[in-house]
Homo-oligomer: A and B are copies of this chain.
Amino acid sequence: MFTFKAFYNENKNQISFKKTEEELPKLNSKDLLVKIEAVSLNPVDFKVASGLLNKPNDQKTLGWDASGIVVKVGSEVKNFKIGDHVYYAGAIDRPGSNSEYQVVDERIVGQKPKSLTFKEAAALPLTAITAYEALFTQLQISKNISDKPKKVLLVGAAGGVGSIAIQLLKSLTSSIVIATASRKESEDWVKSLGADYVINHNNDFLKELNRIGFQDVDYIFCINGLESHFENMANSIKTFGKIVTIDDPVNPLNMMLLKMKSVSFSWEFMFTHSLYQTEDMISQHKLLNEVSQLVDLNKIKTTIGLDLGIMNEVNLEKSHELLKTQKTIGKIVLGVNE
């Protein structure tokens, strides 16, 4: 099979890719072998290439978002059969999806939404899992839509994770969704996905909230800019409020800013389940199936921002350069056969 190996250049802080031939991977008992049809790109690809798992400069197959067709199943597989159309993010400590074929544990794989193309489906898994776990496992926002509405602030909402978070909140909860955006283009995008209000994250958060009639928010999901927005978030969160983040702050955080209001702070890292093989790893299989249903019921739209065509060295590099600008809207996808 072919696979794209990534090479990280520390001086240029860039990744380059090289197409190579490899043998088909071996399956563990709970694994599926998937023929990949489409992939999507995420900031985590770059983080892994540059040393997230303490292995900088390793040549490695990146890519943690794919859709494809099951072509082989391990001896203990219960939820899938050959021919199933699936979508998944995969495990960060195993080879990624920038490949012709990939092995993946069935407990972190979902049935692909029937109403979507492979490319449209590939845009969803990593961001859907991340947003879902951040909102419902970490922030513990109620999924009872008759509950009294709570205010949820999404910091940096126009990217892939924010795009799905807005939709999950509007379709599964009674939340008032306040998205931050700083450009007209991203403001329009988050509104089109259902955000009730948009504030500018370059201004003082509390003043921006006052402008739209609020004194505070119950929950904050900080998707990026954690360090620069930390004081702003501390000022605008309610007593006993909850903050969750997926960002990678470079410096230690002044957590004392959250003490007087008894605020909680939590991490969402979607690879925790697979990396530590947690007992409830199968929750991600269920979550992806639930998202599939929501998509097929027209309650959630795919979040493709840019289709760059075929997966090759040039387009992979181009995608990562775009992601580094942190200004991409929605997801970048690539197809295997097109």
Residues of A in contact with B (beta carbons under 8 Å apart): 133, 137-138, 239-240, 248-249, 251-256, 258-269, 272-273, 275-276, 278
On whether A255 and B263 interact (CB within 8 A), knowing A240-B278, A272-B240, A278-B240, the answer reads: no
| A248 with B255, Cβ < 8 A, contacts A263-B267, A265-B265, A267-B264 known | no
**Stoichiometry, copies per complex:** 2
Chain B nearest CB: distance from A131 CB in Å? 14
User: By the criterion CB–CB under 8 Å, are A249 and B255 in contact?
Assistant: yes
Asked if A248 contacts B240 (CB within 8 A), the reply is no
Contact B256 A248 (CB under 8 A): yes
* Chain B residues positioned under 8 Å from A239 (CB to CB): 272-273, 276, 278
- Chain B residues within an 8 Å CB radius of A265: 255, 264-266
Partner of A138, one of B137, B249, B262, B269: B262
- CB-defined contacts of A272 to chain B, threshold 8 Å: 239-240, 260-262
> Across the interface, do B253 and A255 meet the contact criterion of CB distance under 8 Å?
yes
Question: Do B262 and A258 touch (CB < 8 A)?
Answer: no
List 26 contacting pairs A-B, 8 Å CB cutoff, sorted by A. Answer: A137-B240, A138-B264, A239-B276, A239-B278, A240-B272, A248-B256, A249-B255, A249-B256, A253-B253, A253-B255, A255-B255, A255-B265, A258-B267, A260-B269, A260-B272, A260-B275, A261-B267, A261-B269, A262-B268, A262-B269, A262-B272, A263-B266, A264-B265, A264-B266, A264-B267, A265-B266
- New A-B contacts (15) at CB < 8 Å, excluding given A239-B272, A248-B259, A264-B267: A133-B262, A239-B273, A239-B278, A249-B255, A255-B267, A258-B267, A260-B269, A260-B272, A260-B275, A261-B267, A261-B269, A262-B267, A262-B272, A263-B267, A265-B266
